[in-house]
Amino acid sequence: MVDWRRAIAKAATGLAVALMLGSVAMHGVSAPALAVEPGEVLSDKALETRARGLSAKLRCLVCQNQSIDDSNAPLAKDLRLVVRERLTKGESDEAVLSYVVARYGEFVLLTPPFKVSTLLLWLAPLLCLVGIGYALLGSSGLFASARPAAALPGAGSAERLSTDEEKRLKALLDSPSGRTERNG
């Protein structure tokens, strides 16, 4: 008989290991290629450093998994230019981020702020790890009850079958169809 809980736990473990190894391999292989064009670079090194820092915090709305600093999309270029333009006007980093968020929403931030509306985003990885751990530990029997079967409710309290019940059970087991006639 197949123990489905163990089979599912083994499959989940294999999948988790494969995903972790794949993400580590992809992280090592894919070095970020900055898409900032030479014409966008500010002559003031301090402002350019601030612009790069802000650009790394903003998501490309076209690519969605890249910062605007890493994306070649036209919208990312426009956002890089907006960031640099506002910095050259003397705005603070917070003011520039506030402007972009007000215009595009919090989705534009690669790291969403920790607040009630984003609580699930922050806790989902932890909840997934807890669920996987529970499944793995549960399938290994660590959460199984340590009580013997006789201590379980209803176990061991069953009465012995009467002679008539034993005869009826034997007749049921011996009959080809598994049925016997009832006695009136």
Assign domain 4-118 to its CATH architecture.
Orthogonal Bundle (1.10)
Tokens (6 digits) for 59: 């998501």
Hey, is 156 helix, strand or coil?
coil
Please give the pLDDT value at position 32: 47
The pLDDT mean for the chain works out to: 79
When comparing pLDDT for 140 and 53, which is higher? 53
**Residue range 99-111: average pLDDT?**
89
Please give the pLDDT value at position 148: 54
Tokens (6 digits) for 89: 């006007």
Query: pLDDT tier at 11 (50, 70, 90 boundaries)?
Result: confident
CA 68 to the chain's CA centroid: 24
Hey, is 177 helix, strand or coil?
coil
Query: pLDDT tier at 157 (50, 70, 90 boundaries)?
Result: low
Is residue 129 a contact partner of residue 123, using CB atoms and an 8 Å limit? no
When comparing pLDDT for 3 and 166, which is higher? 166
Neighbouring C-beta atoms of residue 101, cutoff 10 Å: 15
Please give the pLDDT value at position 93: 92
Q: What percent of the chain has pLDDT over 90?
A: 19
**Residue range 10-37: average pLDDT?**
67
Tokens (6 digits) for 36: 């900032």
Please give the pLDDT value at position 151: 53
Phi/psi for 109 (5° steps) reads -80, 130
Please give the pLDDT value at position 70: 87
Is residue 97 a contact partner of residue 54, using CB atoms and an 8 Å limit? yes
- Does residue 180 have a pLDDT over 60? no
Q: Which residues of 39-77 are buried (b: 16+ CB within 10 A; e: fewer)?
A: eeebeeeeebebbbebbebbbbbebeebbbbbbeeeebb
- Does residue 168 have a pLDDT over 60? yes
Residue 12 class from Cβ within 10 Å (0-12 exposed, 13-18 middle, 19+ buried)? middle
**Residue range 114-127: average pLDDT?**
83
**N- to C-terminal Cα separation, the chain:** 40
Picking from 94-98, 132-136, 146-150, which range would have the lowest pLDDT averaged per residue? 146-150
When comparing pLDDT for 6 and 172, which is higher? 172
Can you tell me the distance from the alpha carbon of 172 to that of 176, in angstroms, rounded to the nearest whole number? 8
Phi/psi for 21 (5° steps) reads -65, -40
Q: What percent of the chain has pLDDT over 70?
A: 74
**Residue range 35-47: average pLDDT?**
77
Domain-wise residue ranges, the chain: 4-118
